[in-house]
């Protein structure tokens, strides 16, 4: 049994206990849509009735460490950087999981979920889809702002001397001065 079949079997077992939850989509079943091999790791999409995740699992079964569960790692794929959570089990070993959809209530059937999974795999492997995430853009903007403050101390001094008039203080600086 290959790693993806083991992964599928593991989630099928979990589905038995998840079936009673309100966010469980009974029109779906556990499935794995296999993608490509990238630098010794296999990329796939895991479909379950409660979530869809991008999975990155090493061809060599890496040792699973319970203490690392939930830790994050940024992984570069052809279309950009993605945040994967450390997951796994003793039977499967360690793997990375990147959330795509959760819950899965808007999927009408298994065919639709598989079609989306296939499109996701194409998209993450396409360099034309490369772009920065909102988080990356926000961090860059924050870094630039901080650099501007430290590179130009006169701006910081001018802003601190400006201060607030009583009118600006009372109106949270929304009112214009007369």
Distance of alpha carbon 18 from alpha carbon 29, whole angstroms: 12
The predicted structure's pLDDT at residue 1: 45
C-alpha pair distances (Å), 154 with each of 57, 126, 158, 164: 52, 46, 6, 18
Residue showing tokens 């279309």: 79
Q: Where are the domains of the chain?
A: 3-129, 134-170
Of 73, 66, 112, 126, nearest to 90 (Cα)? 66
CB 56 within 8 A of CB 43: yes
- Give this prediction's pTM: 0.72
> Which range (67-76, 112-121, 123-132, 157-166) has the least confidence?
157-166
Higher pLDDT among residues 105 and 37, named by residue: 105
Q: What is the pLDDT of residues 12-63, one digit of tens each?
A: 999 999 988 999 999 999 999 998 888 888 899 999 999 999 999 887 777 8
Q: Domain 3-129 class?
A: alpha beta
């Amino acid at each position: 049994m290959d790693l993806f079949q083991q992964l599928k079997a593991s989630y099928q077992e979990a589905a038995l206990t998840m079936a009673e939850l309100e966010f469980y989509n009974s029109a779906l079943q556990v499935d794995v849509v296999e993608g490509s091999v990238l630098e010794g790791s296999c990329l796939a999409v895991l479909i379950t009735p409660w979530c869809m995740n991008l999975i990155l699992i090493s061809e060599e079964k890496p040792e699973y460490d319970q203490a690392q569960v939930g830790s994050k790692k940024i992984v570069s794929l052809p279309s950009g950087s993605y945040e994967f959570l450390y997951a796994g089990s003793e039977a499967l070993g360690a793997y990375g999981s990147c959330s795509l959809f959760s819950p899965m209530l808007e999927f009408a059937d298994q065919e639709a979920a598989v079609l989306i999974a296939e499109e996701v795999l194409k998209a993450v492997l396409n360099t034309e889809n490369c772009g920065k995430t909102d988080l990356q853009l926000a961090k860059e903007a924050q870094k630039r702002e901080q650099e501007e403050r430290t590179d130009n101390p006169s701006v910081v001094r001018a802003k601190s001397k400006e201060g607030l008039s009583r009118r600006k203080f009372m109106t949270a600086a929304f009112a214009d001065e007369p």
